Amino acid sequence: MRFKDKVVLVTGTSRNTGVGIAALFIREGAHVCVCSSTPESTAKGAAELRAMGLDGFTETPADISDTEQVRAMFRVIREKFGRIDIVVNNACNQGIGPAFEEMDPAYFLSVIKTNLMGTFQVSQEAVKMMLRQESRGVIVNLGSNVSTRAIRNRTAYVASKGGLDALTRAMAVDLGPKGIRVNMVAPGYIFTDRWEKLADDKVKRRRLNCPIGVEATADDIAQAVAFMASDASRNICGERLVVDAGCSAQHMPVDVDV
C-alpha cells in the first residue's frame, strides 16, 4: 500500500470528490483526517465512507476561511497523531453567483477567502508541523482548468483558481528547498450529485467539450491526487496536472460549424 501509516488531511470531504479522495487514501493504508466546514457536513461525508466499509479516518471539522478554526483543527491533529504527512486542499466555494456587474464585493471576497485564503491557511499550519518532522511532507492543491479558460458568470471562482495556480508555484519554490513538495491537480468536468439534476441534453452538451467524451469520476481525480502525493512523483514540484478529458486541448466542440 502506497500510503501505509501516513497521516493525511483532506479538506472538503462532505461529498463527491472529497469523499472519493479520502476513500482512496484510506484503502491505501493511510489514516485520513476528514474535514468539512461544519461538524454536520463532516459527519455526512464520514457516513458515506462508513457505508463503503471504511473506518480509517478521524473527523476534524473546520471552516478553512476561519483562521482560528484552522489552527484548532491542527491542534487536534497534532495531539492525536503528532505529525502530518500529506495535505490535500480540496475544499472549494463553487462561486455560482451573479453576473460580474451585479456581484457584491462581499460575495467575491467570500469565494476568495475559502478557495485561496483557506488553502493558504491550511497549508501554512501543515507546513509548521512538517518542518518539525524528519520526513517533511507533500501538499496537493485542487485547482481547475477554468484558471486558463474562463467560464461565464463565475468571476470569483475563476479568479480564485487562477490565484491558486500562482500560490502553488510560489509555495513550491519556497518549500521545495525545505523538503516539502507542492503540486496541483486541475480537474475539468467531474460527475457529482449535481449532474443527476441536469437535463440529458445539457449532459450531452457538456460531454462534447471533452474530446474523449466523458467527464471525470471522483476516483479519476483521486488517482491523480494520489500520484502527486506518492513517491512516484518525488521529482515533481510546482506542477499542475490537468485532468479534464482533453477539454483544455480542444479549441471548440465537434458540433461547432467552422
Angle, vertex CA 163, rays to CA 195 and CA 116, nearest 5:
70
Q: What share of the chain is helix, strand, coil (3-state, %, to 5)?
A: 50, 15, 35
CA-only gyration radius of the chain, Å? 18
Task: Reply yes or no on whether 107 is catalytic.
Answer: no
Contact of 154 with 95, CB cutoff 8 Å: yes
Report the C-alpha gap between 202 and 208 in whole angstroms. Answer: 10
| Catalytic residue, candidates 25, 108, 157, 189 | 157
Bridge partners for 183 per DSSP: 140
The region that residue 19 occupies, defined by phi over 0 for left and psi between -120 and 50 for alpha, beta otherwise, is alpha
AA identity, residue 21: I
Strand ranges of the sheet holding 240-243, from the earlier edge strand across to the other edge: 57-59, 31-35, 7-11, 86-89, 137-142, 180-187, 240-243
Instruction: Calculate the alpha carbon distances from 190 to 12, 48, 126, 147, 172 in Å.
Output: 15, 18, 27, 16, 26
For the residues of 32-65, what is the DSSP string, one character each?
EEEE-SSHHHHHHHHHHHHHTT---EEE----TT
Residues noted as catalytic: 157
